[in-house]
Amino acid sequence: MKIIYNPIFGNELLQIVNRIAKDKPNASVKFALELEESILNIPIFPFKYKPSSYFDDKNVRDITYKNIQ
């Protein structure tokens, strides 16, 4: 299994983390670390997350964070 980080993902993640950090700096770090851990666990648990609702490919998965997609 191959995890692909594209520039759009990186830019959007940085914007999200920065926005969270404005109000809750510790929460932004926690969010980033937990998301990274979830991504790194995908090869170990490839079917933990549901197939993506954004792509017509059953191999693409959506990761949710505290019930937020």
3-state secondary structure of 55: coil
d(CA 51, CA 61): 4
| Tokens at 3, concatenated | 């995890």
**pLDDT single digits (tens) 53-62:** 899 998 888 8
**Band (67; pLDDT cuts 50, 70, 90):** low
d(CA 63, CA 69): 7
**pLDDT single digits (tens) 33-43:** 999 999 999 88
d(CA 31, CA 35): 6
